[in-house]
Amino acid sequence: MSVSCPLQEQSDDSSEEEAAGDTEMDFLRNLFSSTLGLGSADKVLDELTLEGVARYIQSGKCKNIICMVGAGISTSAGIPDFRSPGTGLYANLQKYNLPYPEAIFQIDYFKKHPEPFFALAKELYPGQFKPTVCHYFMKLLKDKGLLRRCYSQNIDTLERVAGLEGDDLIEAHGTFYTSHCVSFCCRKEYNLDWMKVKIFSDDIPRCDKCSSLVKPDIVFFGENLPVRFFTSMKMDFPRCDLLIVMGTSLQVQPFAGLVSRYCRSSFIFLKCTADPLFGLMGFGGGMDFDSDKAYRDVAHISTCDDGCLALADLLGWKVKLSHMIMRINSLVQ
């Protein structure tokens, strides 16, 4: 499937509540600091442009890059995002006779009426689409030893298809890669191939052990995010030298709060988007692209694929990226 999957914004898990509280405090602290001009602002770029970012990466000082990605990096693969007017997933769900569009990802509704979700899953199932330039660019960052982690809102598994592995990824909103029985007493695990057979034979997947529904491990409304999301961010973001944000409007919490979670003066934000307002307004917490005090954040206004190609070209990686795309795409069935 695709992109930015709906998630539960509130959680009963204590670690999630603690992380959410810390995120809010970090954001407020950084907002006051930047607004009042408090604290040190170490400028690591010689200019706030894509060229400046490329020179910083080439300097050898940038060793831990984190990518935050969402729906926008998969749209060029043919997977719709959720909210685009007219073309987004939510705008085209009338045929499923839902009480409201988001119900298709509501856990309580799913348990009573699983048919709409599995019909949609058949249309957008992983394996029918190939990774985009963005996915391969992140794989290239990994090959160069620069990628600390990719934090993804997407559930389409295209990061894995491009060559990122489990330790490289935080699939914040879950994934189709595995599935589990929904029964709390069972929770038997099933793999991607098992689920695919069920979906494409138009069978509602049920557990071989207890006959309960089996659901892909994507995060529905009413479910908690993976624990690994909360534990990893505490380790990763204090070490981050460069944060690349692509294909997400950073409006869904708690994913959006990662930007301000550990906001340090060495962060640079690269936003690849075709919407100039999105790039300049700085959604997601304290980004500053064009004020007199701007010293860190970079907005690159383009499609995500074009932004990655432009940065790869500046880094001298464009040929290698092209070869990688051709090689892996030839293996993707």
Given a cut of 80, whether residue 27 has pLDDT beyond it is: no
Mean pLDDT for 224-229 is 88
Please provide the distance, in angstroms rounded to a whole number, between the alpha carbons at the two ends of the chain: 16
Res. 115: pLDDT tops 80: yes
Share of the chain above pLDDT 90, in %: 39
Closest CA relative to residue 209, chosen from 179, 183, 177, 175: 183
Which residues participate in the annotated binding site for NAD(+)?
A: 71-75, 81-83, 153-156, 248-249, 304
Confidence of residue 13 (pLDDT cuts 50, 70, 90): very low
- Mean pLDDT for the stretch of residues 2-18: 40
Q: What is the mean pLDDT of residues 103-125?
A: 87
Counting Cβ atoms within 10 Å, is residue 125 exposed (0-12), middle (13-18) or buried (19+)? buried
Q: Is 51 buried (19+), middle (13-18) or exposed (0-12) by CB count in 10 A? A: middle
Instruction: Lowest mean pLDDT of 3-7, 93-97, 211-215, name the range.
Output: 3-7
For residue 121, which of 1, 225, 22, 12 has the smallest C-alpha distance? 1
| 254: preceding bond cis by omega (within 30 degrees) | yes
In the block, residue with structure tokens 């539960």: 8
pLDDT score of 150 more than 50: yes
Annotated binding residues for Zn(2+), as ranges? 181, 186, 207, 210
Longest CA span, the chain: 63
Please write the tens of the pLDDT for every residue from 168-177.
999 998 888 8
Q: DSSP for 1-36?
A: --S-----S--S-HHHHHHHHHHHHHHHHHHHHHHH
* pLDDT (tens digit per residue) in 50-81: 999 999 999 999 999 999 998 889 988 888 66
Judged by average pLDDT, the poorest of 43-47, 179-183, 266-270, 297-301 is 266-270
Query: Which of 111-125, 184-198, 206-220 is predicted least confidently?
Result: 111-125
pLDDT band at 288 (very low <50, low <70, confident <90, very high): confident
Average pLDDT, the chain: 79
State the Cα–Cα distance between residues 38 and 45, nearest whole angstrom: 20
**Confidence class of residue 287 from pLDDT cuts 50, 70 and 90?**
confident
What pLDDT is stored for residue 5 in this prediction?
36
- Four-point Cα dihedral 142, 273, 285, 30, nearest 10: 60
3-state secondary structure 98-154: CCCHHHHHEHHHHHHCCHHHHHHHHHCCCCCCCCCHHHHHHHHHHHCCCEEEEEECC
Buried b (16+ CB within 10 A) or exposed e, 264-288: eebbbbbbbbeeeebbeebbbbbbb
| Exposed / middle / buried, residue 80 (Cβ in 10 Å: 0-12, 13-18, 19+) | buried
Span 124-144, average pLDDT: 90
Which of 39-48, 174-183, 311-320 is predicted with the least confidence, judged by mean pLDDT? 39-48
Q: Which residue reads 């959720």 in tokens? A: 82
Q: Map residue 270 onto helix, strand or coil.
A: strand
Query: The pTM is what?
Result: 0.79
**Residue 208 predicted with pLDDT over 90:** yes
pLDDT of residue 271: 58
Three-state SS for 213?
A: strand
Catalytic residue among 173, 180, 300, 323: 173
Helix (H) or strand (E) holding 180: strand 174-181
Copy the structure tokens of residue 124. 């957008």
How large is the average pLDDT for residues 108-132? 86
| Per-residue pLDDT tens over the stretch 151-174 | 999 988 899 999 999 899 999 988
pLDDT at 1 over 50: no
Please say if 113 is a catalytic residue: no
